[in-house]
Amino acid sequence: MNSSSGKRRLKAAAVTVLALAFSATACGSGSGGTGAKGADDGTYTVWDPYPQFAKGSAWVKLLDSCGAKAGVKIKRTGFDTSDLPNKALLAAQQDNSPDVLIVDNPVVSTLTEAGILTTTDDNKLDTSGVDPNLLAAGQLGGKTYGTPIGANTLALYYNKKVLKDAGVDITSVKDWPTLTAALAKAKQAGKKGITFSAIGTEEGSFQFLPWFWGADAKLTELDSPAAVSALTLWKDWLGKGYAPNSVLNNTQTTSWQEFETGDYAFAENGTWQLANAKKAGLDYGVLPIPGADGGSAAAPTGGEFVTIPVQSSTGRYATAQKLTACLTSTQSLYDTDTTLSYIAPTAEVQGKQLAADAELKPWVDAVRAAKGRTGDGLGTKYPRISEQMWKAVQSALSGSKSPKDALAAAQSSVK
């Protein structure tokens, strides 16, 4: 592995993009320590975005178990997701990167361009079993910089009682026109149609992307006719009362809370709400988000990548590789993804998940159709594009601009 000072030097452009995409919240639960590490001092650092998992949790037990198998102790720190990228950049500047770094998948391209991640060619991580569409989020310039630990994505939850009372057969919902017809029937029956998040943050872009991609629009052409059709769909839903005006401020959490009232036919949300759906006692089902003309629309992939940062002491890589291979083994992926409500990144583990819970099938289908937000060679260009996208959505849904004019302004700003 090449650990030259050139690789370790952070690139200003990458840091600038990171500052645009993520805001440091100072919510980390501690630092990995200071000072350069020796070739093998018997203790290896792992940073992850799971501060909710304390000592004694299944996740921390897995880390300790992988450390024991590699013959080392693990010093683990859990950071807030939005804080971790900046912590990783600062650590790289100080030549104090963790041995294993687990980050949200859109961050991989930024850290890669900053020169602080090793490639799978260098670190010998085996990614051959990973679904290509999920692995793409960690690829840049023909090289791969890590492996996914799991994935989540978006689909449509639906309330079976609301649809039954409205006379809607869910099997009839196959594309945008049939979905819109179902929303109209729900409203006619005195209920509400659909809730989602269109807030002016990455969450808003995340939720808009399935409709954007479902129209065959491309992120490099925000003002294309296909893109306009997707934003027009959302605008029309608000105009006809099929979706509430609250979507402008809804996060994915508050949108879910609206669905939990039992008044809505549909809610766009993710795998992470499965436990809440069961706890709420709703008679619900899950449907992949339909494309404009049918089929499943590509939804954006969520979930984290396990990466191995560049170290000045190359003698640490072999053990870091063992730790990462352990964390992403078949059994570890199954255990971890069950804990995190993720769909596994490999067909083998997806099969084990389906054998244990057949109701996960719509989610497995959605993940298999999903796309990485930084894919298609966008890399660190994505945050700027996303910001203009959510601004366009806000402008159109608030009525300050037409969908066409809002997206034209967005494309102009990106250029």
pLDDT band at 415 (very low <50, low <70, confident <90, very high): confident
Judged by average pLDDT, the poorest of 159-168, 235-244, 337-346 is: 337-346
Q: What sign has the CA pseudo-torsion 204, 210, 214, 218?
A: positive
Report yes or no: 300 and 109 within 8 Å, Cβ to Cβ: no
Average pLDDT over residues 8-28: 38
Q: Which residue has the tokens 């996208």?
A: 389
Distance (Å, whole) CA 277 – CA 284: 8
Distance (Å, whole) CA 356 – CA 7: 44
Distance (Å, whole) CA 32 – CA 21: 24
Q: Classify each residue of 47-56 as buried b or exposed e, where b means 16 or more C-beta atoms within 10 Å of its C-beta.
A: bbbbbebeee
Strands 43-48 and 100-104: parallel
pLDDT digits (tens, 9 = 90+) for 123-168: 999 999 999 999 999 999 899 999 999 999 999 999 999 999 999 9
Q: Which CATH superfamily is domain 154-299+378-414 in?
A: Periplasmic binding protein-like II (3.40.190.10)
Q: Where are the domains of the chain?
A: 5-151+302-368, 154-299+378-414
Asked whether this chain's domains 5-151+302-368 and 154-299+378-414 adopt the same fold, the reply is yes
- The 8-class DSSP code of residue 242 comes to S
Q: DSSP 3-state assignment of 205?
A: helix
pLDDT digits (tens, 9 = 90+) for 286-329: 999 999 999 999 999 999 999 999 999 889 999 999 999 999 99
Cross-strand partners of 270: 154
Strands 100-104 and 304-307: antiparallel
> 3-state SS of the chain: helix, strand, coil percent to 5?
50, 15, 35
Distance (Å, whole) CA 138 – CA 120: 10
Would you say residue 17 has pLDDT above 70? no
pLDDT band at 194 (very low <50, low <70, confident <90, very high): very high
Based on the number of CB atoms within 10 Å of its own CB, is 38 exposed (0-12), middle (13-18) or buried (19 or more)?
A: exposed
Please choose, from the candidates 376, 309, 304, the residue with its C-alpha nearest in 3D space to the C-alpha of residue 337.
304
Residues 6+ apart with CB under 8 A from 271: 152, 153, 155, 341, 342, 343, 363
pLDDT digits (tens, 9 = 90+) for 380-394: 899 899 999 999 999
- The 8-class DSSP code of residue 35 comes to S
Task: Note the CATH architecture for domain 5-151+302-368.
Answer: 3-Layer(aba) Sandwich (3.40)
User: Any idea how long the chain is?
Assistant: 415
What Rg do the C-alpha atoms of the chain give, in angstroms? 22
Q: Which two tokens stand for residue 138?
A: 């960690």
